[in-house]
Amino acid sequence: MIIGPVILAIILIVVILLAPVKYNFSSAKTEEKAAVSQSKNILGGSVIRQQALEDGYVPFIGSSEYSRMDSMHPSVLAKKYNRSYRPFLMGTGGTQSLTHYFDLQGIKDQIKNKKAVFIVSPQWFVPGGVSKQAFNMFYSPLQTTEWLLSADAKTEADQYAAKRFIALMSDGGNESILKAMQKIADGESLSGTDTNIFRMKLTILQHEDELFSGFSVPNRMQLIDRQTRNLPAKYDLATLDVLAGRFGAKGTTNNDFGIQNSYWTGRHLDGTGKFAGKQAKLNYDRSVEFSDFQLVLNQFSKEHTNVLFIIPPVNKRWSEYTGLSAEMLKNNATKITEQLKSQGFDHVADFSKRGNEKYFMADTIHLGWKGWVAVDRYVNPFLTQKQAKPDYHMDDYYYSKDWQQE
């Protein structure tokens, strides 16, 4: 008696997943929640991000710096002062250039001839770049399949991307994707059979995204709303900077490094001296990450996306204590800036020298109260005023080991 309904249910599921239709259950409320959620489901999906960007949200791409939602956070300022844009936060702890590159595959049409903000963190640029664990954590079968169907095996960029994917991806359950990636890495295009299989797979993954990505999205809007109440009714940068100093002073009372109280105690940074000199051997100026970053730049170039890049500092007092080389950090920022500006990415806000300013950082590596105000000094006019069309000229040299190690 049960077999009939079970078979019907299976048939119905197959029809739903394979049907050549689009299921769109996104609403303005869902988009608002998703934009500040930093949820893995949202980052790995496409449909909600696509709809949100079409509705005026702007990609704010980066990593864990967006998780600190104080009163000067870009999402808080945009809501409080009724900006013509709203940030859609794309990134969390562990998301680096390669993850962002594949994530962009799902929103290519939505960033075409549009704007974006990208925070590129110096700590991404360790010699090996993103870790296998982090890359696999944020792996998206949907976005990878989209990439495979549009990959050009004859280009340096796509061959490099495929090689990096193979090097980082765990093989469990991904055999067909790894085989396809190997073809691209070898300069071989996918066969007609490969393409048909991946097209069918893409349809299923797209429907899964449409049906399920909006479930269990964290609602952080109450936090955003609560933070807006700390701000003056009228927007004024000088006033906000003074206020940021007050918030910073109040929030960093239990240590001498200008680190937020909760971070200081939560990370057990106090009292032991165990971190003294421990970062002396860290290196951020020779890394495969520079070539991963080039993939992101290449995608922005293809879509003619006008991007504001932000290079944050590290907490100078803390870096001096841990022995992190100031010269190495300077080289990292110089190298990132050269890679950007030499290819026509002219909007660069380099804050790398401001890590010694009070309350600019919230902890050891993340922007704080005054730091976000400084960011807004660039972000607000960039997004609200008309900008000249970018003129990009990409250079495959940035995929080379010579550049990685320069």
| pLDDT tens-digit readout, 330-358 | 999 999 999 999 999 999 999 999 999 99
Cβ within 8 Å of residue 205, ≥6 positions away: 141, 142, 145
First to last CA, the chain: 70
Cβ within 8 Å of residue 267, ≥6 positions away: 363
**C-alpha gyration radius of the chain:** 22
The mean pLDDT of 67-87, rounded to a whole number, is 97
Instruction: Give me the helices (H) in 19-151, please.
Output: 28-37, 40-44, 47-54, 74-80, 97-103, 108-111, 132-137, 141-150
- The residue ranking higher by pLDDT, 130 or 170, is 130
The mean pLDDT of 178-194, rounded to a whole number, is 97
The mean pLDDT of 29-50, rounded to a whole number, is 94
Taking the whole predicted model, whether its pTM rises above 0.75 is answered as yes
Residue 23's pLDDT band, with cuts at 50, 70 and 90, is very low
pLDDT score of 92: 96
pLDDT score of 273: 79
The mean pLDDT of 51-67, rounded to a whole number, is 97
pLDDT score of 212: 86
Residue 174's pLDDT band, with cuts at 50, 70 and 90, is confident
Domain boundaries, the chain: 24-137+219-405
The model's pLDDT over 286-327, given as tens digits with 9 standing for 90+, comes to 999 999 999 999 999 999 999 999 999 999 999 999 999 999
Provide, rounded to the nearest whole percent, the portion of the chain with pLDDT above 90: 87
Mean of pLDDT over the chain:
93
pLDDT score of 217: 85
- How does 351-389 read in b/e, with b if 16+ C-beta sit within 10 Å? bbebbebebbbbbbbbbbbbbbbbbbebbbebbeeeeee
Distance CA 71, CA 244 (A): 8
Of 217-221, 235-239, 251-255, 296-300, the range with the lowest mean pLDDT is 217-221
Q: Is the pLDDT of residue 245 over 80?
A: yes
The model's pLDDT over 101-146, given as tens digits with 9 standing for 90+, comes to 999 999 999 999 999 999 999 999 999 999 999 999 999 999 999 9
Domain 24-137+219-405 -> CATH class: alpha beta
The mean pLDDT of 160-164, rounded to a whole number, is 98
pLDDT score of 20: 53
pLDDT score of 2: 54
